[in-house]
């Protein structure tokens, strides 16, 4: 008999133990600095050179690229190594699931990645370290070396659509999975949050692991409020034992 497919939707709460702050929690970035949201809003970014300069300084100071995977990331990778079919649908842009050992082809980055840059004109891409080295050398708003266009991180900013291909793959996995675990996500940002409802509608067991209530708690089969760093490894070990 085929082993059950487990889909894991991971949000910012999965990476807080790695030192990366969340966005919407009590001490989240959007609450402590409302102006920061402009730095990741596409329209502001494209039309205001000062916003771009501030964005590059924020990226330069951002510790996310130096962060290490934590117990939650490692537990997901261990589950995959055990032979159970696992797919990660992540709202995070930090690449920590892959650094923990999860094969890149089994991780769908719904909101892109902060580890690469992209040109908004010719779509050239490259390692974020290369662009940041130019900022360190004095370029406040480094243009694309290929076409002179505006560079940004390869993340989905506010006002941008998710990649339709990535979203389509995420929907297919969500409809096919046996267990859907939403962990560390407020489940407030659509369309990613709606995957929890799609999973439940298609008969998956829905488990939500999050410190605060979410809009999908009422339809969940299980809601866990324990700290993610201990709760997720325990949950995944139990699933592995039962599979």
Q: Could you list the active site residues?
A: 111
- For residue 60 the two structure tokens come to 């330069």
Q: What is the DSSP letter of 86?
A: E
| Residues paired with residue 183 on neighbouring β-strands, in sequence order | 10, 209
The Cα 52–Cα 152 span in angstroms is: 8
Phi, psi for 150 (deg, rounded to 5)? -80, 130
Residue 178, CA distances (Å) to 105, 108, 187, 205, 231 in order: 20, 18, 20, 6, 20
Contact 98, 18 (CB under 8 A): no
């Amino acid at each position: 008999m085929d082993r059950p497919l487990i889909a894991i939707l991971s949000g910012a709460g999965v990476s807080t133990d790695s030192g990366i702050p969340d966005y919407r929690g009590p001490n989240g970035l959007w609450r402590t600095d409302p102006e920061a949201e402009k730095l990741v809003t596409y329209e502001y970014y494209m039309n205001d050179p000062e916003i771009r300069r501030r964005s590059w300084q924020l990226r330069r100071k951002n510790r996310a690229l130096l962060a290490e995977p934590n117990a939650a990331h490692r537990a997901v990778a261990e589950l995959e190594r055990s032979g159970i079919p696992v797919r990660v649908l992540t709202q995070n842009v930090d690449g920590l699931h892959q650094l923990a050992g999860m094969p890149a082809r089994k991780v769908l980055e719904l909101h892109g990645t902060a580890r690469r840059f992209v040109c908004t004109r010719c779509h050239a891409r490259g390692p974020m370290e290369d662009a940041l080295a130019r900022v360190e050398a004095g370029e406040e708003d480094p243009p694309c070396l290929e076409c002179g266009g505006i560079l940004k991180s390869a993340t989905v900013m506010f006002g941008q659509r998710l990649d339709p291909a990535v979203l389509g793959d995420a929907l297919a996995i969500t409809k096919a999975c046996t267990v859907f675990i939403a962990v560390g996500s407020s489940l407030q940002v659509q369309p990613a949050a709606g995957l929890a409802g799609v999973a439940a509608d298609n008969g998956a067991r829905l488990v939500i692991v999050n410190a605060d209530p979410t809009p999908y708690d009422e339809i969940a089969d299980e809601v866990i409020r324990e700290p993610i760093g201990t709760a997720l490894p325990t949950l995944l070990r139990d699933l592995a034992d039962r599979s």
